Amino acid sequence: MPHHARKKQPAVKWFIQEWGTLPNETLVVVGLTQKQIVARMKRSKFHKDVVEAFSRSEPLEDASAWVWLRQGRTMLWFPEWKNDWEHYNTLLHETNHLVYHIIRDKGMTNEIEAQAYQHEYLFDNIRRRLCAKPRTKTK
């Protein structure tokens, strides 16, 4: 009987990234499908309206990443994360979308320095958390 290698599943990551000087937060998700995200949102007691809106959205699960926005709530999704320039560039691109929409919604489109600071802050903090090694349990 031939041995078939199983496709390695991407490491799952799920964390809330705060925005520093702004009161916003972004849910960062790696390696989960939309159905799995909805289930985790329910278990985590996310607001019912947010869960329903996300479950009705049409994420691009074959994309390299995407951003979901709803009334100031944001999510950044990756099918997988690797510590390489391709993924850094995708993160840079997607955090630009986040900053653009949140800054616009706050009426701060002329605050170029605030936008630049916010973009740097999000990119650096999300990248660090995505690249962090999982903690091992100690006895």
Residue 136 in any domain: the answer is no
Contact 53, 5 (CB under 8 A): no
Query: For position 73, what pLDDT does the model report?
Result: 86
Q: How confident is the model at residue 139 (pLDDT cuts 50, 70, 90)?
A: low
| Cα(72)–Cα(26) distance, integer angstroms | 9
Ramachandran area for residue 107 (φ above 0: left; ψ -120 to 50: alpha; else beta):
left
Residue 67 in any domain: the answer is yes
User: Residue 37's closest CA among 71, 3, 66?
Assistant: 66
Q: Tell me how many domains the chain contains.
A: 1
Residue 93 in any domain: the answer is yes
Residue 7 in any domain: the answer is no
Residue 8 in any domain: the answer is no
Residue 3 in any domain: the answer is no
Contact 76, 26 (CB under 8 A): yes
pLDDT, tens digit, 9 for 90 and up, residues 116-131? 999 999 999 999 999 9
**Is the pLDDT score of 30 beyond 90?**
yes
> What is the model's pTM?
0.86
Which residues form the domain of 31? 13-131
Number of neighbouring beta carbons within 10 Å of residue 93: 13
| Cα(122)–Cα(61) distance, integer angstroms | 23
| Burial class of residue 126, CB neighbours in 10 A (0-12, 13-18, 19+) | buried
**Is the pLDDT score of 1 beyond 60?**
no
CA of residue 139 relative to chain centroid, distance = 32
pLDDT, tens digit, 9 for 90 and up, residues 38-72? 999 999 999 999 999 999 988 667 788 999 998 88
